[in-house]
Amino acid sequence: MGTGKNKVAYKEISYSQLRSYCEMARRGSMSAAARALEVSHPTVWKQIRALEQLLGETLVDSDGRRSELTLAGKVLADLASPIIAEFESLRQRFQERHENALKQLSVAAPPRSYTDDMMGVIREFRQTYPDVRLKMREVFESFGNELLEQGEVDLVIGDRKCCRRPQDLDVEKLYEIEPMIIMPVGHPLSRKKRIELEDLGRYPLLNHPDFYPEDEGKAILNRAGAFNHPERGFDLVLASSIRSCVKEGYGIGLVGQVRKDHEKDPMLVERSISHLLPPAVCYAYRIRRISENPVQRAFMDLVRTRLGAGTAESSPI
């Protein structure tokens, strides 16, 4: 196509130039490359000629019918052919990777979710979306931000304690947890028709003073002196621990109820105190995105539908 070296032009090598060149090198002529790429012969010639000008080397010797690579041309073909092959497979690999990403969902939730709230939701989601690999894990205290920001989970579901910086996240209200008081069968409170706030300070309360996620509820309990009983000897957080210690007779406990149809423990009496304390609210926390992830949305909507907050509601957090 030319002889000698040309002055190097300071431009970028394009994909179309390399594709035409590699196709010509593979098929042995510009005409064959043009037919394979469904472009004209002059187009292939111009793209290869532009490469020679950009690189300052003669890449092809051609007699019009056949094209023979020079030494420089062979070097370029060896370097460029794998790049073009990799690039041309990008679309297929992208589609496969994207489809796989849409078929995975990682959700973190506090321990109570697995004992009290969400097992039915998890079971139904897996039955409804068998192609989605759902991975559940626990989140403790306020580590939700870290799990989301590090990409360890796609979604965190829990109360206000789960994420220490909710203002950095997309937050939606999902469901409420009704406050309940539990006591052993035969306890004096079990015989009262209506439990009053002052009753909470008359018996050892096993909960940790900071357990209540809503500030209003904490303030109400502190004003009632709920944590001041002299025989109080436990600071518990997990509902399962509270239930065990109440059954042993160490005091009374506060737990949450979402599903009224959950199996009752015959050794305990449960009473609603929603007239005394506000409900704890569970939210969905996730990284803010421009576009909606349909798998995340399906899971959130199922939680909301089954556990009770109705339509989507953004949190004012």
Residue from 34, 166, 162 nearest 107 by CA: 162
Give the whole-angstrom CA distance, residue 254 versus residue 243.
9
**DSSP string of 224-250, one letter each residue:** TTTT--TT----B-SHHHHHHHHHTTS
Residue 98 has pLDDT above 80, yes or no: no
* Token representation of residue 112: 């109570």
Q: Please check the confidence at residue 132 and state whether its pLDDT lies above 70.
A: yes
| CATH number, span 104-281 | 3.40.190.290
Question: Which pLDDT band holds residue 8 (cuts at 50, 70, 90)?
Answer: very low
CA pair distance 33, 11, nearest whole angstrom = 24
Angle (CA) 271 276 278, round 5° = 100
Q: Which has more pLDDT, 87 or 301? A: 301
Residue 57, pLDDT score: 92
15-88 and 104-281, same CATH topology:
no
3-state helix, strand, coil in the chain (%, to 5): 40, 20, 40
Q: Is 123 helix (H, G, I), strand (E, B) or coil?
A: helix
pLDDT band at residue 113 using 50, 70 and 90 as cut-offs: confident
Residues 190-249 have pLDDT tens digits of 999 899 999 999 999 999 998 888 889 999 999 999 999 999 999 998 888 999 999 999
Whether 141 has a pLDDT exceeding 80, the answer reads no
In terms of pLDDT, which residue wins out, 28 or 95?
28
Is residue 121 pLDDT above 90, yes or no? yes
What percent of the chain has a predicted confidence (pLDDT) above 70?
Answer: 91
Give the rounded percent of residues in the chain with a pLDDT score beyond 90: 57
Closest to 246 (Cα-Cα) out of 299, 180, 158, 154: 180
Which pLDDT value is given to residue 3?
A: 46
The top-level CATH class assigned to 15-88 is: mainly alpha
Band (111; pLDDT cuts 50, 70, 90): confident
Q: In this predicted model, what pLDDT tens digit does every residue of 159-173 receive, in sequence order?
A: 888 888 899 999 999
Question: How does pLDDT run across 28-71, given as a tens digit for each residue?
Answer: 888 899 999 999 989 999 999 999 999 999 999 877 677 889 99
- Residue range 284-300, pLDDT digits in tens: 999 998 888 889 999 99
For residue 128, name the pLDDT band (cuts at 50, 70, 90). Answer: very high
Domain limits of the chain? 15-88, 104-281
